[in-house]
Amino acid sequence: MQKKLLTLAVAGALAAPGAALAQVEVYGFVFMSANKFKYSTPTQAGAGTGFGSVSKWDVASHASNYGVRGRENLGGGQTAWFQIEQNAPMERSNNVAITPASRNSAVGIQGGWGNLFIGQWTTPWADLDALWGVGTVGGWGPITSIIGRRETTGAAPNPNCINGVSPGVGICDAVESAGGVGHPFWRRVSESIFYQSPVFSGVQVKLAYQTNEGKATAGTGVVQADPSLWSASVQWAGMGGRLRVGAAVDSHKDFTAQNQSDSGWRVTGGWNFGVADIGLAYEQMTYKTFAGDCDATQWGIGVAIPVGSGAIRASYAVADDIEGSFTGAAAPAGTFGAGSCGAAPSAALNTLNNGAKTWNIGYDHRFSKRTTVGIGYAQIKNDEAAVFTWTGAPPTQTGGALTAANTPFPGSDPSTFFVSIIHRF
């Protein structure tokens, strides 16, 4: 892939002949699709009443971005580096502003001992998606809809956000306020410290810590919230990279309930047999509410079959119903926390029909190292109380009239035929 390289002298270089130079690279990723999108009629009584199915054309931008990054040799095997990356909203109907450093952005030092950096980055948990997500074409796959995405089951958890103990007051960044019971496991984390070990015999360890800058007290100095997050993973690649496997654990303190830590673990991996590349993922999360634990399980499988300069790709994934208490118990006085695992149950007390299934199939053709074109179909089958969708989905039956215009009505199934194009620079 060709890159635009801008050679810039570091501070003082002009005044000090022979000083080290830093190479700065401008890069980007444009990922668009044209889609024939459909939302089916909602199935939950009382939700979406009066709305039938709707079919519409749409143009979507799948995490298109651009950025600048650079490296400088410090000597002794040490390298300083930085990266500033932001979103590129290529379709304007959603009025998404370009936010500097909204994506992976950090500064760090790397050497034979590993890579230490600070800023905002994807978690070690989320990085494991690269090991198994071989079955997606066009951005409409399980990694952008079901896997790791239980945040659609409730209200934003951070106590300092608008729906917390101090409505409209306090700090609340995009990560912490993303919504859901507990913290979204798939999202990148900000105000964080990261470490990535060197690769030893195919093994690498990654760690991330989101600092507790959101710590809050009330009145007499009693701590009301002390949110922080740990994420850790280990991964291994062998047989020339054809076999790969990784495991991760996360702990999210004070994100759903005070003095409680949500937790999760996952295993992902894949095996490239030559005639087909198979990927597998399994994950479990436990969200802590004052009414009891909420346990969520998701799994998925993906496959890529090489055909000429492209591949046929397909995925299938399942989000099981959340298991837990749905009593709606209130948080004790002076504390914060969710009272239940999600929306009101439609059947037995401890059974909530909020699971979903998704599948996709398509073909992508790589014209060059920089340009890929794809075509395919994808669908999500939501249970009665489920509202899963993909990142970048168009507005629902409301046509954008509601705040959460791209969140389906409970039980409404999104699906799409699409043609996509990726260009890297």
Does residue 201 have a pLDDT over 90?
yes
Give the chain's mean pLDDT.
82
Q: Which residues pair with 318 in a beta bridge?
A: 299, 357
Dihedral pair phi/psi, residue 324, rounded to 5°: 165, -170
335 or 116: whose pLDDT is higher?
A: 116
- The pTM (predicted TM-score) of the whole model is 0.86
N-terminal to C-terminal alpha carbon distance within the chain: 7
Asked which of 108-112, 189-193, 217-221 is least confident by mean pLDDT, the reply is 217-221
CA–CA separation, 354 vs 415, rounded Å? 18
At 178, is the pLDDT very low, low, confident or very high (cuts 50, 70, 90)? very low
Nearest C-alpha neighbor of 185 from the set 220, 152, 150:
150
CB 183 within 8 A of CB 286: no
Averaged pLDDT, 160-181? 38
What tokens were used for 66?
Answer: 């651009």
Reply yes or no on whether the pLDDT at 6 is more than 90. no
Q: Strand ranges (DSSP E) for 48-104? A: 54-61, 65-75, 78-87
pLDDT value at position 151? Answer: 55
Q: CA 23 to CA 225: how far, in whole Å?
A: 43
Decide if pLDDT at 289 tops 70. Answer: yes
DSSP code for 247: E
Max Cα-Cα span within the chain = 76
**CATH number for position 76:** 2.40.160.10
Work out the number of other CB atoms within 10 angstroms of the CB of residue 24: 16
Q: Which residues contact 98 (CB under 8 A, 6 or more apart)?
A: 86, 87, 88, 89
CB-based contacts of 50, cutoff 8 Å, min separation 6: none
pLDDT digit string, tens, across residues 64-110: 999 999 999 999 999 999 999 998 888 765 555 677 888 999 999 99
Residue 58 confidence (pLDDT) above 80:
yes
Counting the structural domains of the chain, the total is: 1
- Domain residue limits at 170: 4-424
